[in-house]
Amino acid sequence: MEDLTNVYFSPLPDSPYVKPFRFNYTQNGMEKTWDLLEVHDSVAIIVFNVSRNVMVFVKQFRPAIYYNRIPPQDRQNSIDTKKYPAELGIALEMCAGIIDKQKPVEEIAKEEVLEECGYDIPLEKLQRITSYRSGVGVQGALQTLFYCEVTDNMKTEQGGGIDDEIIEVVEKTIPEVEAMVRSPGPISSPPSCLFALMWFLHFKADQFRT
């Protein structure tokens, strides 16, 4: 799927994406520190195509996953991409995006569904499910999860992301989604995707089973 070459590491420069710092505090009289990362809040959208009863996923190369699949002794300063192909870092996810604009979250969700998946959805099709903390260790940004039913008629564009994003749109049937959450793993997806799939299977899927 991807041609990956020339992988090497360098120190973190002043980064607009990743701002690490130390949080100092006194809890019940005890001085403590905790190392944190400031990241953007985000949205994620469960996109279900009711014309063909398929769940719409996005598939892309994720450096964070690729890096973690390489044995530590083979990722000291660089990685041998012949030995470790890009496929190791491919993730299957819900459509999602960071909130980096001053807009309602619904507008940002609508844009991501169009840019990544190619569906032009009316705002009122977005059902807000809930929001939660994307992590509790080093990052605690808020992610808001939506559910959206789409039809083939709403597919007005190719999808695949904007700028230099390389995103593949992938569809799975309900039995395939069930097989995914029952898989012993390792699953190349984040827990937010698995929560979204379980939510769909538990609360929505029955009406679409044939």
Closest by CA position to 116, among listed 146, 140, 94: 94
Closest by CA position to 61, among listed 145, 139, 147, 160: 160
Give the interface segment with its own copies, choosing from 99-107, 115-123, 153-161, 199-207 (CB under 8 A).
199-207
Alpha carbons 188 and 137: distance in angstroms, whole number: 20
Q: Which is nearer to its own copies, 122 or 186 (CB)?
A: 186
Class of residue 27 by CB neighbours under 10 A (exposed 0-12, middle 13-18, buried 19+)? exposed
Binding to its own copies, residues 118-147 (CB under 8 A): 128, 130-144
Give the interface segment with its own copies, choosing from 56-64, 107-115, 116-124, 147-155 (CB under 8 A).
56-64
Binding test (CB under 8 A) with its own copies, winner from 71, 202, 206, 210: 202
Binding test (CB under 8 A) with its own copies, winner from 45, 47, 55, 61: 61
Closest by CA position to 209, among listed 178, 169, 171, 170: 178
Give the interface segment with its own copies, choosing from 47-55, 113-121, 152-160, 195-203 (CB under 8 A).
195-203
Distance in Å, CB of 199 to its own copies, minimum:
6
Binding to its own copies, residues 6-25 (CB under 8 A): 6-13, 15, 17-18, 20-25
**In this structure, are residues 184 and 26 in contact, taking their beta carbons and an 8 Å threshold?**
no
Q: Which is nearer to its own copies, 153 or 184 (CB)?
A: 184
Binding test (CB under 8 A) with its own copies, winner from 46, 49, 93, 150: 93
Give the interface segment with its own copies, choosing from 60-68, 100-108, 115-123, 169-177 (CB under 8 A).
60-68
Alpha carbons 127 and 123: distance in angstroms, whole number: 9
**In this structure, are residues 159 and 116 in contact, taking their beta carbons and an 8 Å threshold?**
yes
